[in-house]
Amino acid sequence: MISTIDTPHQVHIDWLLKNGVTTSAMVNPSAMLLAQGERAPDGRFEPEENGMFWFVFEELDDEVFWHPRSNRLATLDGRAFALGQDAIWNASTYSFDGHLNIFSDPLDWLRAKRDGCVVLDWTRAFDRLAGAPRVSVDEKVLFLYRRHMHPPQLPELYVLQTNGRAAA
Measured over the CA atoms of residue 56, residue 101, residue 139 and residue 125, the dihedral's sign is positive
Return the ∠ at Cα 142 (arms to 18 and 31), rounded to 5°.
35
pLDDT of residue 133: 96
pLDDT of residue 126: 95
DSSP of 56-76, one letter per residue?
Answer: EEEETTEEEEEETTTTEEEES
Cis preceding-peptide flag for 152 (omega within 30 of 0): no
What does the pLDDT profile of the chain (168 residues) look like in tens digits? 555 689 999 999 999 999 999 999 999 999 999 999 999 999 999 999 999 999 999 998 999 999 999 999 999 999 999 999 999 999 999 999 999 999 999 999 999 999 999 999 999 999 999 999 999 999 999 999 999 998 878 888 889 888 766 555
